[in-house]
Amino acid sequence: MSQYPHPGPRDLDSPDPIVDPAVPRPVVEQEELHSVNPAGLERHERVVRDTTGAEHSVQTVTDRETERLRGLSKACQMVWLVISAIEIVIGLRVVLRLLAANPQNGFASFVYAVSRIFLGPFFDLTVSPQAGQIVLEIPSLIAMAVYALLGWAIVKAIWLIFAPVQSRSETTYNRYRS
């Protein structure tokens, strides 16, 4: 036996309830409030009231400053992503050269070709010690340090130029009368 009663034949044949047009429907009153404070906090409130006194309120608060900081954070993450990709390619080159990888190999030639783009200014900076086929590319290590510092400087510049300046001043006066 089912826990839900099944409708009988009379229940299925009963007509839908008729809505009397003479009965007035409750009148709905709607109010919208919008405010923005100097700190960038935007508040939007919508209040709906019916004639019975029931009230429904929806508040939306948007912090523009937080959204702006989130955008700055994303820009900095993109800078670090690019710098990290450059560092990884140069690091792979250093490891492949230390392991005396075959330059005719497809992967090694790809890493050498891509890293050559970023190592151009550093190639003749210092000598690279070598023993047989094993090479320690000092210029590549210097390039990795320079690119890391460059990424750090770009991120610092983004924050210094675009981040909001937060300042607060409070003055308190105490007067004592005798």
Looking at the structure, tell me whether residues 40 and 72 fall in a common domain: no
Convert the pLDDT of each residue in 64-94 to its tens digit: 777 888 889 999 999 999 999 999 999 999 9
Q: Is residue 57 part of a domain?
A: yes
Sorted by sequence, the CB contacts under 8 Å of residue 82 that are 6+ apart come out as: 151
- Residue 171 within any structural domain of the chain: no
Do both 37 and 71 map to the same domain? Answer: no
pLDDT, residue 41, reads: 78
Alpha-helical runs (H) found in 99-171 = 106-119, 138-162
- Residue 155, classified by CB atoms within 10 Å of its CB into exposed (0-12), middle (13-18) or buried (19+), is middle
80 and 143 share one domain: yes
Q: Whole-structure pTM over 0.85, yes or no?
A: no
Asked if residue 74 and residue 128 are part of one domain, the reply reads: yes
The answer to whether 73 touches 159, Cβ cutoff 8 Å, is no
Burial of 107 by CB count in 10 Å (0-12 exposed, 13-18 middle, 19+ buried)? Answer: exposed
